[in-house]
């Protein structure tokens, strides 16, 4: 996107060689696209190796990346705007910072990682850095999106009728997660994510991510070593977004 600074290309360890990118196996599975491991391995030579480290086609991340660096330098445009708009909606509605940060993070795995099971991945990615309640709410929002709660101001999203067809029924594990969430003391935290979620797909709304710097500072424990380098159980997930094309 235009507001992402492009960082200068710097030397990298594999300079002088062609570097092949092998697509992730999960992205080809079931699509009819061939798994490229074998054909790419057959093309390998001393001058043609596999990508490891910084890919010059991507903006370079700082050495100790923070949350907003991932927003600016890695996330897809849709996720970038969607998360900022959701958080701003929650803020404008007068909710406390807990809800605002939950909205800001709720679909974070869609940005540059994985869409499938996004509530669970998103919760796991941020769990070491936020309160238990926020991670819980993010995990359960995936299920709650399929179930209306009119008393909270949430109807079944019309977008889901378009995405999945009007006759789509969520699988049993999602129905089970919905029942668990309903009975939980943090239900409304997760429900409010869904409330501010559904109105947040407008184009042409420009929000400066810096407006959330203070809220992030108070509700997201940024590791001094940077996301990806703090030795946390999820550091590898952040590193995967820094170097998404590493062969191994
Ligand atoms: Fe979501
Ligand atoms: Fe969302």
Q: How far is the CA of 62 from the centre of ligand 2 (A)?
A: 27
Per-residue pLDDT tens for 105-155? Answer: 999 999 999 999 999 999 999 999 999 999 999 999 999 999 999 999 999
- Ligand nearest the Cα of residue 82 is 2
pLDDT at 8 over 60: no
Predicted local confidence at residue 206, as pLDDT: 87
pLDDT at residue 81 in the model: 93
> Which CATH number is 182's domain given?
1.10.3210
Q: What pLDDT, on a 0 to 100 scale, did the predictor assign at position 16?
A: 83
pLDDT number for residue 218? 98
Residue 236 lies in a domain: yes
C-alpha 78 to ligand 1 mean position (Å): 12
**Within-domain flag for 11:** no
The domain of 42 spans 18-60
* Cβ-Cβ contacts under 8 Å for 121 (sequence gap 6 or more): 109, 113, 114, 237
Tell whether 167 is covered by a domain: yes
Residue 9 lies in a domain: no
Residues 71, 64: Cα–Cα separation, whole Å = 14
Distance 170 CA to ligand 1 centre (A): 14
Query: Is the confidence at residue 82, as pLDDT, over 90?
Result: yes
Asked whether residue 241 carries a pLDDT value surpassing 70, the answer given is yes
Residue 24 belongs to a domain = yes
Mean pLDDT of 28-53: 95
Q: How far is the CA of 148 from the centre of ligand 2 (A)?
A: 15
Q: Are residues 77 and 56 in the same domain?
A: no
**Residue 14 banded pLDDT, cuts 50, 70, 90:** confident
Are 106 and 192 contained in the same domain? yes
CB 128 within 8 A of CB 67: no
pTM score > 0.85 for this model? yes
**Ligand closest in space to the Cα of 198:** 2
Rounded distance from Cα 100 to ligand 1 centre (Å): 15
Q: Are residues 123 and 180 in the same domain?
A: yes
The CA–CA distances, whole Å, from 237 to 84, 117, 246 equal 21, 15, 13
- Taking each helix axis from N to C end, the angle separating 77-92 and 97-105, rounded to the nearest 10 degrees, works out to 170
Q: What are the tens digits of pLDDT across the range 173-201?
A: 999 999 999 999 999 999 999 999 966 56
82 occurs within a structural domain: yes
Is 131 found in the same domain as 106?
yes
Number of neighbours of residue 63 by Cβ within 10 angstroms? 8
Same domain for 73 and 49, yes or no, is: no
Cβ contacts of residue 27 below 8 Å, gap of 6+? 33
Q: In percent, how much of the chain has pLDDT > 90? A: 89
Quote the pLDDT of residue 7: 45
- How confident is residue 84, by pLDDT bands cut at 50, 70 and 90? very high
Q: How far apart are CA 240 and CA 119, in angstroms?
A: 18
Domain identity same for 33 and 85: no
Q: Residue 10 domain-assigned? A: no
Question: What pLDDT score was predicted for residue 171?
Answer: 98
| One domain for residues 40 and 73 | no
Tell me the two tokens of residue 239.
Answer: 């590193």
Which residues neighbour ligand 1 (ion) by CB within 5 Å? 107
Question: In degrees to the nearest 10, what's the CA dihedral of 126, 131, 135, 140?
Answer: -170
- Whether the CB-CB separation of 70 and 241 falls below 8 Å is answered with yes
What is the number of structural domains in the chain? 2
Q: Higher-confidence residue: 8 or 76?
A: 76
pLDDT-derived band at 205 (thresholds 50, 70, 90) equals confident
DSSP string, 199-230: T---SS----GGGGHHHHHHHS---TT-TTSS
Do 94 and 47 lie in one domain? The reply is no
73 and 41 part of one domain? no
d(CA 88, CA 99): 10
In the block, residue with structure tokens 């699988």 = 171
Please tell me whether residues 127 and 183 are part of one structural domain. Answer: yes
Same domain, 91 and 195: yes
Predicted pLDDT at 2: 41
Domain check: are 188 and 73 in the same one?
yes
Residue 8 within a domain: no
Average pLDDT over residues 11-31: 86
| CA distances (Å), origin 27, targets 14, 24, 40, 148 | 26, 6, 16, 31
Residue 173 alpha carbon to ligand 1 centre in Å: 16
């Amino acid at each position: 996107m235009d507001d992402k600074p492009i960082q200068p290309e710097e030397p990298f360890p594999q300079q002088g060689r062609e570097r092949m990118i092998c697509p992730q196996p999960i992205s080809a599975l079931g699509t009819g696209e061939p798994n490229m491991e074998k054909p790419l391995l057959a093309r390998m030579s001393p001058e043609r190796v596999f990508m490891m480290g910084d890919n010059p086609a991507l903006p370079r991340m700082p050495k100790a990346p923070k949350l907003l660096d991932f927003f600016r330098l890695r996330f897809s445009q849709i996720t970038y705007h969607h998360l900022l708009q959701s958080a701003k909606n929650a803020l404008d509605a007068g909710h406390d910072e807990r809800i605002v940060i939950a909205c800001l993070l709720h679909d974070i795995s869609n940005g540059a990682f994985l869409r499938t099971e996004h509530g669970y991945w998103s919760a796991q990615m941020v769990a070491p850095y936020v309160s238990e309640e926020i991670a819980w709410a993010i995990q359960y929002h995936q299920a709650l999106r399929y179930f209306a709660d009119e008393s909270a101001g949430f109807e079944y999203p019309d977008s889901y009728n378009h995405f999945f067809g009007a006759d789509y029924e969520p699988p049993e594990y999602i129905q089970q997660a919905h029942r668990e969430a309903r009975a939980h003391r943090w239900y409304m935290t997760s429900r409010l994510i869904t409330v501010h979620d559904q109105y947040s797909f407008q184009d042409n709304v420009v929000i400066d991510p810096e407006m959330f710097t203070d809220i992030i500072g108070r509700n997201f424990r940024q590791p001094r070593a940077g996301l990806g380098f703090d030795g946390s159980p999820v550091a590898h997930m952040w590193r995967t977004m820094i170097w998404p094309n590493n062969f191994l």
